Structure 1
Protein backbone atom coordinates (compact mmCIF):
# COMPACT_ATOMS: atom_id res chain seq x y z
CA UNK A 1 0.00 0.00 0.00
CA UNK A 2 2.84 2.35 0.83
CA UNK A 3 4.45 1.54 -2.52
CA UNK A 4 1.23 2.36 -4.41
CA UNK A 5 0.83 5.59 -2.48
CA UNK A 6 4.50 6.50 -3.08
CA UNK A 7 4.24 5.66 -6.80
CA UNK A 8 1.04 7.74 -7.11
CA UNK A 9 2.66 10.61 -5.26
CA UNK A 10 5.76 10.50 -7.50
CA UNK A 11 3.59 10.34 -10.63
CA UNK A 12 1.58 13.38 -9.51
CA UNK A 13 4.77 15.28 -8.67
CA UNK A 14 6.24 14.48 -12.09
CA UNK A 15 3.10 15.74 -13.83
CA UNK A 16 3.09 18.91 -11.74
CA UNK A 17 6.78 19.53 -12.37
CA UNK A 18 6.49 19.54 -16.16
CA UNK A 19 7.33 23.07 -17.16
CA UNK A 20 6.06 25.08 -20.06
CA UNK A 21 8.51 25.48 -22.91
CA UNK A 22 9.52 29.01 -23.76
CA UNK A 23 11.59 30.46 -26.56
CA UNK A 24 12.56 33.84 -27.84
CA UNK A 25 13.17 35.37 -31.22
CA UNK A 26 14.90 38.49 -32.39
CA UNK A 27 12.55 39.93 -35.01
CA UNK A 28 15.04 42.64 -35.97
CA UNK A 29 17.56 39.90 -36.76
CA UNK A 30 14.96 37.93 -38.70
CA UNK A 31 13.77 40.96 -40.70
CA UNK A 32 17.38 41.82 -41.65
CA UNK A 33 17.47 38.48 -43.51
CA UNK A 34 14.45 39.33 -45.69
CA UNK A 35 15.33 41.28 -48.87
CA UNK A 36 11.74 42.51 -49.35
CA UNK A 37 11.81 44.11 -45.91
CA UNK A 38 15.05 45.96 -46.64
CA UNK A 39 13.79 47.22 -50.01
CA UNK A 40 10.46 48.27 -48.46
CA UNK A 41 12.27 50.25 -45.76
CA UNK A 42 14.45 51.91 -48.40
CA UNK A 43 11.32 52.80 -50.37
CA UNK A 44 9.63 54.28 -47.27
CA UNK A 45 12.76 56.29 -46.39
CA UNK A 46 12.93 57.68 -49.94
CA UNK A 47 9.28 58.63 -49.83
CA UNK A 48 9.78 60.29 -46.45
CA UNK A 49 12.61 62.44 -47.83
CA UNK A 50 10.49 63.39 -50.86
CA UNK A 51 7.53 64.36 -48.66
CA UNK A 52 9.79 66.32 -46.31
CA UNK A 53 11.21 68.30 -49.23
CA UNK A 54 7.69 69.12 -50.44
CA UNK A 55 6.65 70.32 -46.98
CA UNK A 56 9.90 72.27 -46.48
CA UNK A 57 9.45 74.00 -49.85
CA UNK A 58 5.95 75.19 -48.92
CA UNK A 59 7.17 76.46 -45.53
CA UNK A 60 10.05 78.29 -47.29
CA UNK A 61 7.45 79.97 -49.52
CA UNK A 62 5.56 81.08 -46.41
CA UNK A 63 8.75 82.47 -44.90
CA UNK A 64 9.61 84.30 -48.14
CA UNK A 65 6.10 85.79 -48.25
CA UNK A 66 6.45 86.95 -44.64
CA UNK A 67 9.88 88.54 -45.23
CA UNK A 68 8.57 90.33 -48.32
CA UNK A 69 5.57 91.53 -46.31
CA UNK A 70 7.84 92.87 -43.56
CA UNK A 71 9.97 94.72 -46.10
CA UNK A 72 6.94 96.24 -47.84
CA UNK A 73 4.80 96.78 -44.73
CA UNK A 74 5.50 100.51 -44.40
CA UNK A 75 4.51 101.10 -48.02
CA UNK A 76 1.22 99.16 -47.86
CA UNK A 77 -2.24 100.54 -47.15
CA UNK A 78 -4.27 98.95 -44.37
CA UNK A 79 -6.35 97.03 -46.93
CA UNK A 80 -3.25 95.73 -48.75
CA UNK A 81 -1.62 94.80 -45.44
CA UNK A 82 -4.68 92.76 -44.34
CA UNK A 83 -4.79 90.97 -47.71
CA UNK A 84 -1.10 90.04 -47.55
CA UNK A 85 -1.46 88.89 -43.92
CA UNK A 86 -4.43 86.73 -44.90
CA UNK A 87 -2.47 85.30 -47.85
CA UNK A 88 0.40 84.40 -45.53
CA UNK A 89 -1.96 82.82 -43.00
CA UNK A 90 -3.71 80.80 -45.73
CA UNK A 91 -0.41 79.61 -47.18
CA UNK A 92 0.76 78.57 -43.70
CA UNK A 93 -2.49 76.66 -43.12
CA UNK A 94 -1.98 74.86 -46.43
CA UNK A 95 1.60 74.00 -45.44
CA UNK A 96 0.45 72.55 -42.11
CA UNK A 97 -2.32 70.61 -43.86
CA UNK A 98 0.20 69.20 -46.35
CA UNK A 99 2.45 68.19 -43.45
CA UNK A 100 -0.47 66.45 -41.70
CA UNK A 101 -1.54 64.78 -44.95
CA UNK A 102 1.96 63.39 -45.58
CA UNK A 103 3.19 62.65 -42.03
CA UNK A 104 0.07 62.44 -39.85
CA UNK A 105 -1.12 59.25 -38.10
CA UNK A 106 -3.30 58.45 -41.11
CA UNK A 107 -1.05 60.22 -43.60
CA UNK A 108 0.39 59.00 -46.86
CA UNK A 109 3.70 57.87 -45.35
CA UNK A 110 2.03 55.80 -42.62
CA UNK A 111 -0.33 54.17 -45.10
CA UNK A 112 2.48 53.33 -47.52
CA UNK A 113 4.61 51.95 -44.70
CA UNK A 114 1.74 49.78 -43.51
CA UNK A 115 0.96 48.58 -47.04
CA UNK A 116 4.57 47.58 -47.67
CA UNK A 117 5.62 46.16 -44.29
CA UNK A 118 2.47 44.57 -42.87
CA UNK A 119 2.45 41.53 -45.21
CA UNK A 120 6.10 40.80 -44.36
CA UNK A 121 5.46 41.16 -40.62
CA UNK A 122 2.38 38.92 -40.84
CA UNK A 123 4.36 36.25 -42.70
CA UNK A 124 7.09 36.31 -40.04
CA UNK A 125 4.48 36.18 -37.27
CA UNK A 126 2.65 33.20 -38.75
CA UNK A 127 5.96 31.42 -39.35
CA UNK A 128 6.94 31.98 -35.70
CA UNK A 129 3.61 30.50 -34.61
CA UNK A 130 4.07 27.51 -36.92
CA UNK A 131 7.61 26.77 -35.70
CA UNK A 132 6.51 27.17 -32.08
CA UNK A 133 3.67 24.69 -32.56
CA UNK A 134 5.95 22.18 -34.30
CA UNK A 135 8.49 22.45 -31.47
CA UNK A 136 5.78 22.31 -28.77
CA UNK A 137 6.78 25.72 -27.46
CA UNK A 138 4.25 27.38 -25.21
CA UNK A 139 5.59 30.93 -25.21
CA UNK A 140 7.76 32.90 -27.63
CA UNK A 141 9.09 36.28 -26.61
CA UNK A 142 10.52 38.94 -28.89
CA UNK A 143 13.78 40.12 -27.41
CA UNK A 144 14.08 43.03 -29.87
CA UNK A 145 10.81 44.55 -28.68
CA UNK A 146 11.07 47.49 -26.27
CA UNK A 147 8.05 46.36 -24.24
CA UNK A 148 9.54 42.96 -23.42
CA UNK A 149 12.79 43.13 -21.55
CA UNK A 150 14.88 40.02 -21.17
CA UNK A 151 17.68 40.02 -18.64
CA UNK A 152 19.09 36.62 -19.58
CA UNK A 153 18.33 34.14 -22.31
CA UNK A 154 20.09 30.94 -23.20
CA UNK A 155 20.96 30.78 -26.89
CA UNK A 156 19.59 27.22 -27.03
CA UNK A 157 16.08 28.67 -26.96
CA UNK A 158 16.65 31.19 -29.80
CA UNK A 159 14.56 29.98 -32.74
CA UNK A 160 15.36 32.98 -34.98
CA UNK A 161 17.47 30.89 -37.38
CA UNK A 162 14.67 28.30 -37.61
CA UNK A 163 12.30 31.10 -38.66
CA UNK A 164 14.78 32.38 -41.27
CA UNK A 165 15.20 28.86 -42.70
CA UNK A 166 11.44 28.29 -42.73
CA UNK A 167 11.02 31.60 -44.60
CA UNK A 168 13.44 30.25 -47.20
CA UNK A 169 16.50 32.34 -46.38
CA UNK A 170 20.00 31.53 -45.10
CA UNK A 171 20.87 32.45 -41.50
CA UNK A 172 23.88 34.72 -41.18
CA UNK A 173 23.42 36.18 -44.68
CA UNK A 174 22.28 39.71 -43.95
CA UNK A 175 20.74 41.83 -46.70
CA UNK A 176 22.91 44.83 -47.59
Structure 2
Protein backbone atom coordinates (compact mmCIF):
# COMPACT_ATOMS: atom_id res chain seq x y z
CA UNK A 1 0.00 0.00 0.00
CA UNK A 2 2.81 2.40 0.88
CA UNK A 3 4.63 1.68 -2.41
CA UNK A 4 1.40 2.35 -4.29
CA UNK A 5 0.96 5.65 -2.46
CA UNK A 6 4.55 6.68 -3.18
CA UNK A 7 4.09 5.91 -6.89
CA UNK A 8 0.99 8.12 -6.99
CA UNK A 9 2.93 10.83 -5.18
CA UNK A 10 5.76 10.68 -7.73
CA UNK A 11 3.29 10.95 -10.60
CA UNK A 12 1.67 14.00 -9.00
CA UNK A 13 5.07 15.61 -8.45
CA UNK A 14 6.00 15.01 -12.08
CA UNK A 15 2.73 16.53 -13.30
CA UNK A 16 3.43 19.64 -11.21
CA UNK A 17 7.00 20.09 -12.46
CA UNK A 18 6.22 22.60 -15.23
CA UNK A 19 4.00 24.66 -12.97
CA UNK A 20 6.57 24.54 -10.16
CA UNK A 21 9.16 26.15 -12.41
CA UNK A 22 7.00 29.26 -12.56
CA UNK A 23 6.38 29.29 -8.79
CA UNK A 24 7.88 27.18 -6.00
CA UNK A 25 6.00 24.08 -4.89
CA UNK A 26 4.17 24.84 -1.64
CA UNK A 27 3.93 21.88 0.73
CA UNK A 28 2.33 21.65 4.17
CA UNK A 29 1.33 18.98 6.63
CA UNK A 30 -1.07 18.35 9.51
CA UNK A 31 -0.86 16.19 12.62
CA UNK A 32 -4.27 14.48 12.86
CA UNK A 33 -3.57 13.13 16.35
CA UNK A 34 -2.72 16.62 17.60
CA UNK A 35 -5.89 18.05 16.04
CA UNK A 36 -8.14 15.34 17.51
CA UNK A 37 -6.66 15.83 20.98
CA UNK A 38 -7.49 19.55 20.82
CA UNK A 39 -11.09 19.21 19.58
CA UNK A 40 -13.39 19.41 22.68
CA UNK A 41 -16.12 17.11 21.30
CA UNK A 42 -13.58 14.41 20.50
CA UNK A 43 -11.98 14.67 23.95
CA UNK A 44 -15.36 14.31 25.71
CA UNK A 45 -16.37 11.34 23.56
CA UNK A 46 -12.97 9.71 24.15
CA UNK A 47 -13.40 10.02 27.92
CA UNK A 48 -16.83 8.37 27.73
CA UNK A 49 -15.46 5.58 25.55
CA UNK A 50 -12.59 5.03 27.98
CA UNK A 51 -15.11 4.57 30.79
CA UNK A 52 -16.87 1.89 28.74
CA UNK A 53 -13.53 0.19 28.02
CA UNK A 54 -12.75 0.02 31.72
CA UNK A 55 -16.18 -1.53 32.38
CA UNK A 56 -15.58 -4.15 29.67
CA UNK A 57 -12.18 -5.00 31.13
CA UNK A 58 -13.72 -5.42 34.57
CA UNK A 59 -16.33 -7.80 33.12
CA UNK A 60 -13.59 -9.89 31.50
CA UNK A 61 -11.57 -9.94 34.72
CA UNK A 62 -14.66 -11.07 36.69
CA UNK A 63 -15.21 -13.94 34.24
CA UNK A 64 -11.56 -14.98 34.60
CA UNK A 65 -11.85 -15.01 38.41
CA UNK A 66 -15.03 -17.09 38.24
CA UNK A 67 -13.41 -19.65 35.91
CA UNK A 68 -10.32 -19.89 38.12
CA UNK A 69 -12.51 -20.57 41.16
CA UNK A 70 -14.25 -23.43 39.36
CA UNK A 71 -10.89 -24.82 38.24
CA UNK A 72 -9.54 -24.69 41.82
CA UNK A 73 -12.65 -26.38 43.18
CA UNK A 74 -12.40 -29.14 40.58
CA UNK A 75 -8.74 -29.65 41.39
CA UNK A 76 -9.52 -29.94 45.12
CA UNK A 77 -12.50 -32.30 44.68
CA UNK A 78 -11.26 -34.27 41.70
CA UNK A 79 -10.22 -37.27 43.81
CA UNK A 80 -13.76 -37.55 45.26
CA UNK A 81 -15.70 -37.12 41.99
CA UNK A 82 -16.74 -39.71 39.49
CA UNK A 83 -15.50 -39.65 35.92
CA UNK A 84 -18.84 -38.33 34.62
CA UNK A 85 -18.88 -35.46 37.14
CA UNK A 86 -15.31 -34.55 36.26
CA UNK A 87 -16.19 -34.46 32.56
CA UNK A 88 -19.23 -32.28 33.29
CA UNK A 89 -17.13 -29.82 35.29
CA UNK A 90 -14.45 -29.68 32.57
CA UNK A 91 -17.12 -29.14 29.90
CA UNK A 92 -18.56 -26.29 32.00
CA UNK A 93 -15.09 -24.72 32.32
CA UNK A 94 -14.51 -24.93 28.55
CA UNK A 95 -17.93 -23.38 27.92
CA UNK A 96 -17.19 -20.48 30.29
CA UNK A 97 -13.73 -19.95 28.76
CA UNK A 98 -15.18 -19.87 25.25
CA UNK A 99 -17.87 -17.48 26.43
CA UNK A 100 -15.19 -15.18 27.87
CA UNK A 101 -13.17 -15.29 24.64
CA UNK A 102 -16.27 -14.47 22.59
CA UNK A 103 -17.05 -11.53 24.86
CA UNK A 104 -13.44 -10.30 24.62
CA UNK A 105 -13.55 -10.57 20.83
CA UNK A 106 -16.89 -8.78 20.71
CA UNK A 107 -15.52 -5.84 22.70
CA UNK A 108 -11.87 -5.63 21.62
CA UNK A 109 -11.65 -7.57 18.33
CA UNK A 110 -10.87 -6.14 14.89
CA UNK A 111 -14.57 -5.50 14.27
CA UNK A 112 -15.40 -5.13 17.94
CA UNK A 113 -17.28 -2.42 19.79
CA UNK A 114 -14.10 -0.50 20.63
CA UNK A 115 -13.00 -0.11 16.99
CA UNK A 116 -16.54 0.67 15.79
CA UNK A 117 -17.15 3.34 18.42
CA UNK A 118 -13.72 4.88 17.81
CA UNK A 119 -14.59 5.16 14.12
CA UNK A 120 -17.97 6.71 14.99
CA UNK A 121 -16.25 9.32 17.14
CA UNK A 122 -13.38 10.06 14.75
CA UNK A 123 -15.04 10.05 11.31
CA UNK A 124 -17.21 13.21 11.66
CA UNK A 125 -14.23 15.21 12.93
CA UNK A 126 -11.97 13.78 10.20
CA UNK A 127 -14.53 14.89 7.60
CA UNK A 128 -14.44 18.41 9.05
CA UNK A 129 -10.63 18.35 9.04
CA UNK A 130 -10.51 17.27 5.39
CA UNK A 131 -12.91 20.08 4.46
CA UNK A 132 -10.82 22.62 6.39
CA UNK A 133 -7.63 21.34 4.73
CA UNK A 134 -9.18 21.76 1.28
CA UNK A 135 -10.27 25.33 2.13
CA UNK A 136 -6.78 26.23 3.39
CA UNK A 137 -5.11 24.61 0.37
CA UNK A 138 -7.30 26.56 -2.07
CA UNK A 139 -7.00 29.87 -0.21
CA UNK A 140 -3.22 29.70 0.33
CA UNK A 141 -2.24 27.87 -2.86
CA UNK A 142 -0.78 24.70 -1.34
CA UNK A 143 0.28 22.03 -3.83
CA UNK A 144 0.47 19.14 -1.33
CA UNK A 145 -0.67 18.64 2.25
CA UNK A 146 0.26 15.46 4.12
CA UNK A 147 -0.84 13.86 7.37
CA UNK A 148 2.14 13.48 9.70
CA UNK A 149 0.42 10.76 11.76
CA UNK A 150 -0.38 8.53 8.73
CA UNK A 151 1.70 5.71 7.23
CA UNK A 152 3.72 8.22 5.21
CA UNK A 153 7.16 8.35 6.82
CA UNK A 154 8.33 11.92 7.43
CA UNK A 155 12.03 11.92 8.28
CA UNK A 156 11.99 15.68 8.86
CA UNK A 157 9.31 18.36 8.90
CA UNK A 158 9.99 22.03 9.58
CA UNK A 159 7.56 23.57 12.08
CA UNK A 160 6.71 26.48 9.76
CA UNK A 161 4.99 24.06 7.32
CA UNK A 162 2.66 22.68 10.04
CA UNK A 163 -0.88 23.96 9.39
CA UNK A 164 -2.53 21.94 12.19
CA UNK A 165 -3.28 25.09 14.22
CA UNK A 166 -4.85 26.72 11.16
CA UNK A 167 -7.15 23.70 10.78
CA UNK A 168 -8.08 23.89 14.46
CA UNK A 169 -8.90 27.59 14.05
CA UNK A 170 -11.28 26.81 11.18
CA UNK A 171 -13.01 24.05 13.16
CA UNK A 172 -13.40 26.33 16.20
CA UNK A 173 -14.72 29.18 14.05
CA UNK A 174 -17.32 26.92 12.44
CA UNK A 175 -18.69 25.99 15.88
CA UNK A 176 -18.77 29.61 17.06
CA UNK A 177 -20.44 31.00 13.94
CA UNK A 178 -23.55 28.88 14.49
CA UNK A 179 -24.27 30.84 17.69
CA UNK A 180 -23.49 34.41 16.46
CA UNK A 181 -25.73 37.21 15.18
CA UNK A 182 -24.95 39.04 11.92
CA UNK A 183 -23.10 41.87 13.70
CA UNK A 184 -21.16 39.43 15.86
CA UNK A 185 -20.39 37.37 12.75
CA UNK A 186 -18.94 40.41 10.97
CA UNK A 187 -16.79 41.27 13.99
CA UNK A 188 -15.68 37.66 14.22
CA UNK A 189 -14.67 37.59 10.54
CA UNK A 190 -12.59 40.77 10.99
CA UNK A 191 -10.86 39.20 13.98
CA UNK A 192 -10.24 35.99 12.01
CA UNK A 193 -8.71 37.92 9.11
CA UNK A 194 -6.35 39.62 11.54
CA UNK A 195 -5.37 36.24 13.04
CA UNK A 196 -4.75 34.83 9.55
CA UNK A 197 -2.51 37.76 8.69
CA UNK A 198 -0.48 37.22 11.84
CA UNK A 199 -0.23 33.48 11.13
CA UNK A 200 0.85 34.05 7.53
CA UNK A 201 3.53 36.51 8.59
CA UNK A 202 4.70 34.42 11.53
CA UNK A 203 7.82 33.28 9.73
CA UNK A 204 8.61 36.84 8.62
CA UNK A 205 8.01 38.08 12.16
CA UNK A 206 10.46 35.53 13.51
CA UNK A 207 13.11 36.73 11.06
CA UNK A 208 12.43 40.35 11.99
CA UNK A 209 12.70 39.50 15.68
CA UNK A 210 16.01 37.72 15.07
CA UNK A 211 17.36 40.75 13.20
CA UNK A 212 16.30 43.07 16.01
CA UNK A 213 17.97 40.84 18.59
CA UNK A 214 21.21 40.81 16.58
CA UNK A 215 21.08 44.60 16.25
CA UNK A 216 20.52 45.00 20.01
CA UNK A 217 23.47 42.68 20.71
CA UNK A 218 25.74 44.68 18.39
CA UNK A 219 24.60 47.98 19.95
CA UNK A 220 25.44 46.58 23.36
CA UNK A 221 28.93 45.54 22.19
CA UNK A 222 29.54 49.03 20.76
CA UNK A 223 28.47 50.65 24.03
CA UNK A 224 30.69 48.33 26.05
CA UNK A 225 33.70 49.08 23.82
CA UNK A 226 33.08 52.81 24.03
CA UNK A 227 32.93 52.54 27.82
CA UNK A 228 36.20 50.54 27.80
CA UNK A 229 37.86 53.22 25.65
CA UNK A 230 36.72 55.94 28.03
CA UNK A 231 38.07 53.97 30.97
CA UNK A 232 41.44 53.49 29.27
CA UNK A 233 41.61 57.19 28.37
CA UNK A 234 40.85 58.14 31.97
CA UNK A 235 43.51 55.76 33.30
CA UNK A 236 46.04 57.18 30.84
CA UNK A 237 45.24 60.74 31.88
CA UNK A 238 45.55 59.78 35.56
CA UNK A 239 48.94 58.16 34.97
CA UNK A 240 50.15 61.16 32.98
CA UNK A 241 49.04 63.57 35.70
CA UNK A 242 50.80 61.41 38.29
CA UNK A 243 54.03 61.37 36.29
CA UNK A 244 53.90 65.14 35.87
CA UNK A 245 53.35 65.52 39.59
CA UNK A 246 56.31 63.20 40.32
CA UNK A 247 58.61 65.17 38.03
CA UNK A 248 57.56 68.40 39.62
CA UNK A 249 58.27 66.94 43.05
CA UNK A 250 61.74 65.80 41.92
CA UNK A 251 62.55 69.29 40.66
CA UNK A 252 61.68 70.77 44.03
CA UNK A 253 63.50 68.03 46.00
CA UNK A 254 67.18 67.12 46.72
CA UNK A 255 67.71 64.78 43.79
CA UNK A 256 70.82 65.58 41.69
CA UNK A 257 70.54 67.21 38.31
CA UNK A 258 71.84 64.14 36.49
CA UNK A 259 69.33 61.93 38.19
CA UNK A 260 66.53 64.35 37.41
CA UNK A 261 67.64 64.60 33.79
CA UNK A 262 67.82 60.81 33.40
CA UNK A 263 64.45 60.37 35.07
CA UNK A 264 62.91 63.09 32.93
CA UNK A 265 64.25 61.52 29.75
CA UNK A 266 63.00 58.07 30.80
CA UNK A 267 59.59 59.44 31.67
CA UNK A 268 59.33 61.26 28.36
CA UNK A 269 60.18 58.07 26.45
CA UNK A 270 57.66 56.12 28.50
CA UNK A 271 55.02 58.77 27.89
CA UNK A 272 55.72 58.76 24.14
CA UNK A 273 55.48 54.96 23.99
CA UNK A 274 52.20 54.90 25.91
CA UNK A 275 50.77 57.69 23.78
CA UNK A 276 51.70 55.80 20.63
CA UNK A 277 50.19 52.57 21.92
CA UNK A 278 47.03 54.28 23.07
CA UNK A 279 46.68 56.09 19.74
CA UNK A 280 47.02 52.79 17.85
CA UNK A 281 44.53 51.09 20.18
CA UNK A 282 42.11 53.95 19.79
CA UNK A 283 42.33 53.80 15.99
CA UNK A 284 41.71 50.04 16.11
CA UNK A 285 38.66 50.50 18.34
CA UNK A 286 37.33 53.26 16.08
CA UNK A 287 37.73 51.00 13.03
CA UNK A 288 35.84 48.21 14.81
CA UNK A 289 33.10 50.64 15.86
CA UNK A 290 32.79 51.88 12.26
CA UNK A 291 32.50 48.31 11.01
CA UNK A 292 29.79 47.53 13.55
CA UNK A 293 27.88 50.66 12.60
CA UNK A 294 28.06 49.59 8.95
CA UNK A 295 26.66 46.17 9.83
CA UNK A 296 23.92 47.81 11.87
CA UNK A 297 22.95 49.95 8.88
CA UNK A 298 22.80 46.84 6.68
CA UNK A 299 20.50 45.14 9.22
CA UNK A 300 18.25 48.20 9.34
CA UNK A 301 18.05 48.23 5.52
CA UNK A 302 17.11 44.54 5.57
CA UNK A 303 14.47 45.20 8.22
CA UNK A 304 13.01 48.01 6.11
CA UNK A 305 12.92 45.75 3.03
CA UNK A 306 11.23 43.05 5.11
CA UNK A 307 8.54 45.46 6.30
CA UNK A 308 7.91 46.58 2.72
CA UNK A 309 7.57 42.94 1.68
CA UNK A 310 5.09 42.31 4.49
CA UNK A 311 3.01 45.30 3.42
CA UNK A 312 3.07 44.06 -0.16
CA UNK A 313 1.91 40.58 0.92
CA UNK A 314 -0.87 42.12 3.03
CA UNK A 315 -2.04 44.26 0.09
CA UNK A 316 -2.04 41.21 -2.21
CA UNK A 317 -4.07 39.22 0.33
CA UNK A 318 -6.61 42.03 0.68
CA UNK A 319 -6.92 42.34 -3.08
CA UNK A 320 -7.48 38.57 -3.43
CA UNK A 321 -10.15 38.65 -0.69
CA UNK A 322 -11.87 41.63 -2.32
CA UNK A 323 -11.78 39.87 -5.68
CA UNK A 324 -13.50 36.83 -4.13
TM-score range, shorter chain: 0.7 to 0.9
What is the TM-score of this pair, normalised by structure 2? 0.45
**1:69-121 Cα deviation digits (max 9, x unpaired):** 10110000011111111011111111111111111111112212211221112
Does 2:164 match 1:160? Answer: yes
Name 2:66's counterpart in structure 1: 61
| Structure number with bigger Rg | 2
Runs of 5+ consecutive residues of structure 1 not aligned to the other structure? 1-13, 172-176
Deviation at 1:16, TM superposition (A): 6.1
State the TM-score, normalized to the length of structure 1: 0.80
Equivalent runs, 1:1-176 vs 2, <5 Å: 17-18=21-22, 19-145=24-150, 147-168=151-172
Deviation at 1:156, TM superposition (A): 3.0
What's the Cα RMSD here? Answer: 2.1
Runs (4+) of structure 1 moved beyond 4 Å? none
The alignment covers a number of residue pairs equal to 157
For structure 2, the residue ranges without an aligned partner over 5 or more in a row are: 1-17, 174-191, 196-324
Give the distance between the partners of 1:107 and 1:144, measured in 2 at CA: 23
Partner in structure 1 of residue 314 of structure 2? none
Change (3 A) 1:16 1:154: closer
Which structure has greater helix proportion?
A: 2
Shift of 1:135: 1.4
Q: Which moved more, 1:155-164 or 1:93-102?
A: 155-164
CA distance in 1: counterparts of 2:19 and 2:40, whole angstroms: 45
